[in-house]
A and B are shown apart, each in its own frame.
Chain A
């Protein structure tokens, strides 16, 4: 099936809606928007059926702060998220726990939510005199749903002893929240009004404002200043083995939620670039198309990417590779975004020039793409010594992210081991920075495989000097290293 035919937009499953209307949040309760009237969702309609524990209230609009309102806003968000992903998964896919995914909207006191392979569990707690329900936020609902979706696609990820694998799971959850909210026409219009499609902080990029607020009352440094996590960020990849196990939200740590922000930031910037790179004045219909394509690219990538310690770069490489089958600008947009966040090194991005050879053959044959790791239902196990943790002399057995790489790519910081001589180090570092940030204007004839960063404002250009290349500055700017509107570079 061609990518285009798999990602049609505007096709709604009539069977997942029933008559009548309910009232539901279009985004997080603290995003500043009013509830919307929405068709009554039919949660238990396959594919990806969901059921909420307890008796469903009569379907009609309810007042805010009622349990009935929370029920229907949760049902609407979960159905919307499930519909989005169901259209992108292989036919016949169901949840890892079974045909129907259960959700419990209030399992007790906590400021959190969980997916545990038996259900989605949400909680409540009080903060600064206010009760917050994690199951009231579409961001949290669709984040947890995202875990369940990814678990159905790649169940081997569940037990992998790998920071990047765990972080990718969290990132998939946050991307699920973003793409699910953008299935609402009003949210697409709102995002374009707020940002014009540029990579700017918005109520869409800010995830779980309300839960973030509640957590901030007790631990001010644990979350962003205006949300739980923000998909618009400046975080750059670092080898998680070099990071501390925890850090304030302003910094990066190897804790999976913290580290996930690198991939989420890159992928969301990629979405913005896919949009503005393809359409100079994007409409909400254009944005709808891009969300569909981005969701499909991500599903394709996680299905095919081998599970390795530097998992981010493998998923990114497969997404870039898959994007070559779509609009011509998508691949460059994703490359640019992944390089700008260090998920792919410049060298790695330059090396991805089309579909992986095995994928190209299989797609050409009309069969689903598979890698040589496909079909492996278990990762290899390794034994770790854990005497230092008081666990005695026994070995700790874990599943290792030990599959074979399909793309020989790395993230940015993993290439710094091959350091240049000391006297060149500063200059090389600066040039690398310019290319990573996309600040260099490169003519195609000079460097055909260089990452183009078509939407990034340039400060330098590459020119030919005889048999060599030279770097010339075009101008200084105010220092806001941002993506530019096409035509304004």
Chain B
């Protein structure tokens, strides 16, 4: 369940997503065998919808969070759906 963060202005004081915009045609998970999932994650990151929130609230428009797990890996977790 998403953490609750309530303030009066969601567009202010929100750290920018720190995921590099760089993309490369061949790199994303060639070995996963799931090109649809790869394409989905690529789109999230390219549009800035998946971010490292690090305990802070998601910036406007973001729907997913990149979360490091206990084993040092990283997962992408949906936090919410939006209207826009």
Q: B39 contacts which of A97, A112, A113, A163 (Cβ < 8 Å)?
A: A163
- Interface 0/1 of A214-228, CB less than 8 Å to B: 010000000000001
Chain B residues positioned under 8 Å from A254 (CB to CB): 39-40, 43
> Chain B 42-81, CB within 8 Å of chain A: the 1/0 string?
1101110000000000001100001001001111111111
Q: How many residues of B contact A (CB 8 A)?
A: 52
Question: Does A193 count as interface, using CB distance less than 8 angstroms?
Answer: no
The 0/1 profile, CB within 8 Å of B marked 1, for residues 376-388 of chain A is 0000001111111
- State which of B8, B20, B76, B82 has its C-beta within 8 Å of the C-beta of A112: B82
Q: Chain A: how many interface residues by the 8 Å CB criterion?
A: 61
Contact B76 A255 (CB under 8 A): no
- B interface footprint on A144-161 (CB within 8 Å = 1, 0 otherwise): 100100000000001101
Q: Which of A289-304 contact B (CB under 8 A)?
A: none
Contacts of B19 in A (CB 8 A): 389-391
**Among listed A36-44, A59-67, A351-359, A395-403, interface-contacting one:** A395-403
Set of chain B residues within 8 Å of A112, measured between Cβ atoms: 60-61, 82-84
Looking at B36, B38, B80, the one whose CB has the most chain A CB atoms below 10 A away is B36
**Distance in Å from the Cβ of A423 to the closest Cβ of chain B?**
32
Complex Cα–Cα for A415 and B4 (A): 45
A205 at the interface (CB under 8 A from B): no
Q: What chain A residues lie within 8 Å of B61 (beta carbons)?
A: 112
Residues of A within 8 A of B79 (CB): 116
Q: Which residues of chain A are within 8 angstroms of B39 by Cβ–Cβ distance?
A: 163, 240-241, 254
* Chain A min CB distance to B35 (Å): 6
Residue contact A390 to B41, C-beta cutoff 8 Å:
no
A211 at the interface (CB under 8 A from B): yes
Which chain B positions have C-beta within 8 A of A398?
37, 40-41, 75-76
Docked pose: A452 CA to B49 CA in angstroms: 42
The reply to whether A388 and B7 form a contact with Cβ atoms under 8 Å apart is no
Tell yes or no: A439 within 8 A of B by CB: no
Docked complex Cα distance between A106 and B37 (Å): 34
Known: A240-B39, A394-B73, A401-B36. A109 touches B83 (CB 8 A): no
As a 0/1 sequence over residues 9 to 45 of chain B, the CB contacts with chain A under 8 angstroms (1 = contact) are 1111000000110111001111111111111111101
A108 touches B7 (CB 8 A): yes
A166–B29 touching, CB < 8 Å: no
B46 cross-chain contacts in A, Cβ below 8 A = 245-246
B75 to chain A, nearest CB (A): 5
CB–CB A211/B10 < 8 A = no
Q: Which B residues are CB-close (under 8 A) to A390?
A: 19-20, 22
The answer to whether A132 has its CB under 8 Å from any CB of chain B is no
In the complex, chain B residues whose CB is within 8 Å of the CB of A241 = 35-36, 39
Which residues of chain B are near A397, meaning CB under 8 Å?
Answer: 69, 73-76
**B8 near A108: Cβ-Cβ < 8 Å:** yes
Tell me the minimal C-beta distance from A120 to chain B in angstroms.
10
What residues on A are CB-neighbors of B30 within 8 Å? 385
Shortest Cβ distance from B52 into chain A, in angstroms?
9
Q: How far is the CA of A117 from the CA of B2 in the complex (A)?
A: 7
> Closest CB of chain B to A212's CB: distance in Å?
9
- Contacts A/B (CB < 8 Å), 24 sampled: A108-B9, A109-B9, A109-B11, A114-B81, A114-B82, A144-B83, A161-B34, A161-B36, A166-B40, A208-B83, A309-B34, A382-B29, A384-B28, A384-B38, A387-B27, A388-B22, A388-B24, A388-B27, A389-B23, A390-B22, A395-B73, A395-B74, A396-B29, A397-B75
Q: A110-B11, A390-B20 are in contact. List 4 more A-B contacts (CB 8 A).
A: A161-B36, A382-B32, A394-B74, A398-B40
Going nearest first, the 8 A-B pairs with the smallest beta carbon separation are A384-B29, A116-B80, A309-B36, A388-B27, A161-B37, A390-B20, A113-B83, A245-B43
User: Chain A interface (Cβ within 8 Å of chain B)?
Assistant: 97, 104, 107-118, 121, 123, 134, 140, 143-144, 147, 158-159, 161-164, 166, 169-170, 173, 208, 211, 215, 228, 240-241, 245-246, 254-255, 257, 309, 382-391, 394-398, 400-402
